[in-house]
């Protein structure tokens, strides 16, 4: 065991194990869902991997597995990883909110598939990521400028979605609120702007929480000891 791992607090090691189990479990869930669709001749890779939920779930797998390894080996997460983790947290919360407020209960188009993977990716994983952010030790404070990372992926995904829909003759939209045939382009852009603002707002809350926790940790540890000069 390395010196860094030896200095890792028990809470960090527990968090690392939970992250690894959750990341591997999420990967298995996605694999089972794909296998079920393949077995029922209902798997279209271009469609499946175009969903915001699926793409962000792949992000979550990487963040959880990498975060698990970091928590087991290091007493503190690197700043770059924490920035990415903050962004993926906002995506997970919005995914859970959109699904449970706008999409839950809508009849599925085509093959319905297994129901429990939807609960895993739309409810349990976002909840776990939120609890991980709130309670896992070893998270550094983030600068406010890290918020610029948050909208990069959602904006790129929205642009890709409209290009894909145009290439299909306007027939393929992964979510009904993105389809201009539903309520017009004004409604579509309102949803996009609102969700982007929500994402950045959630990121700001996450950054503020991390900074408050970091200041509280410094106060508990007290001022650094003064060195006596010979």
pLDDT over 70 (residue 64): yes
pLDDT tens figures, 34-53: 999 999 999 989 889 999 99
Q: What does each C-alpha distance from 82 to 70, 76, 111, 123, 144 come to in angstroms?
A: 11, 10, 38, 22, 13
- 84 or 230: which carries more pLDDT confidence? 84
pLDDT tens figures, 28-39: 999 999 999 999
N-to-C CA span, the chain: 36
Whether 155 is covered by a domain: the verdict is yes
Range of the domain at 162: 3-102+113-221
| 25/28 Cα distance (integer angstroms) | 5
Residue 62: per-residue pLDDT: 97
- 31 or 170: which carries more pLDDT confidence? 31
Most confidently modeled of 42-56, 97-111, 208-222? 42-56
The whole model's pTM is what? Answer: 0.86
> How many domains does the structure of the chain reveal?
1
| 150/84 Cα distance (integer angstroms) | 8
pLDDT over 70 (residue 229): no
Q: What count of Cα atoms within 13 Å lies in the side-chain half-sphere of residue 218?
A: 10
């Amino acid at each position: 065991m390395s010196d860094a791992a030896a200095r890792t607090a028990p809470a960090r090691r527990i968090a690392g194990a939970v992250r690894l189990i959750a990341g591997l479990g999420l990967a298995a869930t996605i694999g089972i869902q794909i296998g079920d669709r393949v077995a029922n001749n209902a798997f279209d890779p271009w469609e499946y991997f175009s969903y915001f939920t699926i793409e962000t779930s792949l992000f979550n797998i990487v963040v959880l597995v990498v975060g698990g390894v970091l928590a087991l080996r290091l007493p503190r997460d690197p700043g770059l990883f924490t920035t990415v983790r903050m962004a993926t947290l906002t995506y997970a919360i919005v995914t859970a909110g959109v699904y449970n407020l706008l999409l839950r209960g809508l009849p599925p188009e085509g093959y319905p598939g297994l129901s429990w993977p939807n609960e895993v990716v739309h409810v349990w994983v976002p909840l776990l990521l939120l609890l991980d952010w709130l309670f896992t030790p070893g998270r550094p404070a983030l600068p406010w400028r890290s918020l610029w990372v948050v909208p990069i992926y959602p904006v790129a995904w929205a642009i890709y979605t409209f290009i894909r829909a145009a290439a299909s003759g306007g027939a393929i939209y992964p979510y009904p609120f993105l389809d201009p045939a539903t309520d017009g382009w004004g409604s579509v852009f309102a949803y996009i702007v609102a969700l982007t603002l929500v994402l950045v707002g959630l990121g700001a809350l996450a950054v503020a929480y991390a900074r408050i926790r970091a200041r509280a940790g410094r106060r508990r540890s007290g001022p650094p000891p003064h060195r006596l000069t010979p």
